[in-house]
Amino acid sequence: MTTSNLLAELFSLLDTTPQSAETLAERLGISAEEVRSHLAPWQGGPVTGQGGYALRPGTPASRLVQAGGILGRPLVYVPQTDSTQNEVLRQAVRWQQEGRSAHGLVVVADDQTQGRGRRGHAWQSSMQGNVGQGLLLSILLHSDPQLAQNLTLLPLACGVAVQAACGVGGLKWPNDLLRADGRKMGGMLLEAEWSAGQVQRLVLGIGLNVLSAPPGAAALSELTAQVNRAQLLQRLLSELEHWLWQSAEHILAAWRRVNLTLGQQVRVQLASEVVEGQAVDIGPGGELVVETSQGRRSISGGEVELVGTVNPLTIRPATPADALQAAELILAANGELAWHLTGTQSAEAARRALAELFGHAGHRLSYSTALIAERAGEVLGLALAYPGEDAVRLDQPLRQRLQTLGRTEQIVSEGLSGEYYLDTLAVSASARGQGVGSALLQHLQQQGRRQGRPLGLLVEQGNAAQRLYERLGFVVVGEQRLAGHSYVRMRWQV
């Protein structure tokens, strides 16, 4: 067995429970001294624990990641390799020699010495030996008719899956994951092996800056608190399992929803020319459509640069002038609860009431409790938040309004004393998946921290948003019933 394979086998036996060198040696059929020799370079990094050898929590190793489908069965973790693209092919040879299928094989590493990206570029995965800060993996796929049919769309599908797993950022064509300010958080590389004019197998490489990033780039931890690399890998494999085999229609629609490219000025470096213009659409085969001074061009390959910078996201206090846009967002986020709070019986009536109420201070649906997220003057999101002990006072004007209207609805005050309560979080449909909601949450958490308060909220039971909040660091602390619906109370600690 080669040193690389022996190290992979050794790490496949480790989890977060310490094991002695003798125990590991017996399981592998080698000496305890060999175990100590192989693990010594990794102590203080992925290997930790007293009284034995264990993996640091969050290490994306096979025993800490539960693969739910084909991808990641098997999963091989190595702390360092030249390139996961190369390592997955070497591991595939081994699996095939043992008579086992390598389809879905995943190799993940803490560091690469010769990592590569698209078009021959290097991928810098660590800085000054600071390994274990990213998620670096490659996946081997045997081609099937659907994968072969959607071959040109697979980079886009991969980008959609990565964005969904991370829950933040947007995509630069075809699949770079960016922060809203244009800094890169991740990239993907798809390499195909051809024989007799047909694709035989594919190697999909993914690199994500998770806990830190090289200069000029960005890390997921800047937008998402308490990132666990093993859990992120598990979500990523699940999303890839879903998106790689989706129809072209679904892939294109999903990519459009989370892209940061369309509408931007771009410069595309092709083999023999540079194309400049505005990115206006995505074609049926995943090609980028660029409006140039000579007309439209469809770009199927090339290095895309967003000219200038992506318009930054700004978070500011709301004003009465935001009333119309705020009413749309509040209604979209609260649905019939907004009817209940305003004493109305239709969406249009609620919209009008919300716009009118928003322009007046002193209640929970007011501009005085609101933050606005905007980019280039376009309102993309809104948050209503206030100290929990102010909830009764802020609800009183709404109760008086209902009495004046002759309504019998009861308003239950939601915020609790000692917390900074998030009443409403809303993101426009055009900006979902671009980190707007996360940016608002981060801003609110900082406000709460300055006041010594945890950020609290209610999310309806069964709502998928609960998973997002949990990934950000919120924990469930109780339940509450509002307007006939059951809600989970969550808090993000200071």
CA distances from 420 to 129, 346, 386, 448 (A): 40, 31, 6, 6
CATH number of the domain within which 277 lies: 2.30.30.100
Are 204 and 190 contacting, i.e. CB atoms less than 8 angstroms apart? yes
Write down the pLDDT at residue 280. Answer: 85
Q: Rounded to whole angstroms, how far apart are CA atoms 42 and 385? A: 46
Q: Would residue 29 count as lying in a domain?
A: no
Instruction: Please identify which residue in the block is written with the tokens 């009284």.
Output: 51
Residue ending a domain, choose from 258, 274, 291: 258
Write down the pLDDT at residue 126. Answer: 47
Write down the pLDDT at residue 7. Answer: 82
Q: Would residue 3 count as lying in a domain?
A: no
Q: Would residue 390 count as lying in a domain?
A: yes
CA distances from 385 to 333, 368, 440 (A): 14, 9, 11
CATH number of the domain within which 178 lies: 3.30.930.10
Q: Would residue 1 count as lying in a domain?
A: no
Residue ending a domain, choose from 273, 306, 339: 306
Q: Rounded to whole angstroms, how far apart are CA atoms 84 and 107? A: 6
Write down the pLDDT at residue 434. Answer: 64
Domain span holding position 380: 313-492
DSSP string, 287-313: PEEEEETTEEEEESSSEEEESS-PPPE
Sign of CA dihedral 218, 223, 226, 232: negative
Both 347 and 457 in one domain: the answer is: yes
Are 56 and 211 contacting, i.e. CB atoms less than 8 angstroms apart? no
Q: Rounded to whole angstroms, how far apart are CA atoms 113 and 116? A: 9
Q: Would residue 480 count as lying in a domain?
A: yes
- 275 forms beta bridges with 268
Write down the pLDDT at residue 115. Answer: 58
DSSP string, 392-434: HHHHHHHHHHHHHTT----PPP---TTSEEEEEEEE-GGGTTT
For the chain, how many structural domains are there in total? 3
Both 422 and 470 in one domain: the answer is: yes
Q: Would residue 39 count as lying in a domain?
A: no
Residue numbers of the chain with a pLDDT score lower than 50:
117-120, 122-123, 126-129
Both 237 and 118 in one domain: the answer is: yes
Q: What strands, in cross-sheet order, belong to the sheet with 265-269?
A: 295-299, 288-292, 274-282, 265-269, 303-306
Both 78 and 133 in one domain: the answer is: yes
Both 180 and 246 in one domain: the answer is: yes
337: closest CA among 431, 394, 410, 406?
A: 410
Q: Would residue 98 count as lying in a domain?
A: yes
Both 269 and 386 in one domain: the answer is: no
Both 297 and 412 in one domain: the answer is: no
Sign of CA dihedral 27, 28, 29, 33: negative
CA distances from 322 to 158, 304, 330 (A): 37, 35, 12
SS3 category, 98: coil
Both 387 and 475 in one domain: the answer is: yes
Q: Would residue 409 count as lying in a domain?
A: yes
CATH number of the domain within which 473 lies: 3.40.630.30
Are 290 and 277 contacting, i.e. CB atoms less than 8 angstroms apart? yes
Both 237 and 284 in one domain: the answer is: no
Write down the pLDDT at residue 128. Answer: 40
Both 322 and 361 in one domain: the answer is: yes
Write down the pLDDT at residue 301. Answer: 84
Q: Taking the complete model, does pTM exceed 0.85, yes or no?
A: no
SS3 category, 485: strand
Both 325 and 399 in one domain: the answer is: yes
Beta strands in 303-411 (DSSP E): 303-306, 313-317, 370-375, 378-387
Both 321 and 301 in one domain: the answer is: no
